Amino acid sequence: MCGFRFSARRSMKLCKTKRCRNPKPHWRRFCRKCQWRQLKERDPLRYSFYHLKNRAKQRGHEFSLTFDQYKDFALKSGYFERKGKTAESLSINRIDNSRGYHADNIEAVTLSYNSRLKYAPIPQWLKDEILGKSKAASAAAMERGAVVGGC
Ligand SMILES: [Zn+2]
């Protein structure tokens, strides 16, 4: 019984990290999650570069930055030291919003500045309308079982 379980686990090719039971690709020693965690600990700058690259890809932005360009930017602008979640943390802003992440199109701005940028072009009346609609939508969602519609 025990031997059977052991061989089954071996053939499933599990991640080599202790206590991690995620399957892994056969050509790697660790699962994707553990690899990311290891990279984060070993080389935080490179980790944040790949993180940004992945996010850009997910959102459909172009991405032509090389690691060296990113490193240069992150260290010179202070982004690497000050990135985070507070209002005064730095985040990467694309100067021309229609373009992607290129060496000449990024700047480090505080999060509060970045969110102002995002919301500034929306007029107040439109905001109210959006907020009103989302409230109505969530109210409708709460009344599950009631007939949906009539808007
Ligand atoms: Zn793992």
Tell me the C-alpha distance between 90 and 116, whole Å. Answer: 14
101 in Cβ contact with 56 (< 8 Å): yes
Q: Are strands 90-94 and 106-110 parallel, antiparallel or unpaired?
A: antiparallel
**What confidence tens digit (pLDDT) does each residue in 28-60 have?**
999 999 999 999 999 999 999 999 999 999 999
**What confidence tens digit (pLDDT) does each residue in 93-112 have?**
999 999 999 999 999 998 88
* CA triple 125-119-108, angle to 5 deg: 170
Which whole-number Å values give the CA distances from 15 to 19, 52, 86, in the listed order? 9, 25, 35
Residue written as tokens 């730095």?
90
Tell me the C-alpha distance between 38 and 139, whole Å. Answer: 44
Domain ranges, ordered by start, for the chain:
65-133
Ligand 1 centroid to residue 54 C-alpha, Å: 20
Ligand 1 centroid to residue 80 C-alpha, Å: 27
Ligand 1 centroid to residue 59 C-alpha, Å: 27
% of the chain surpassing 70 pLDDT = 72
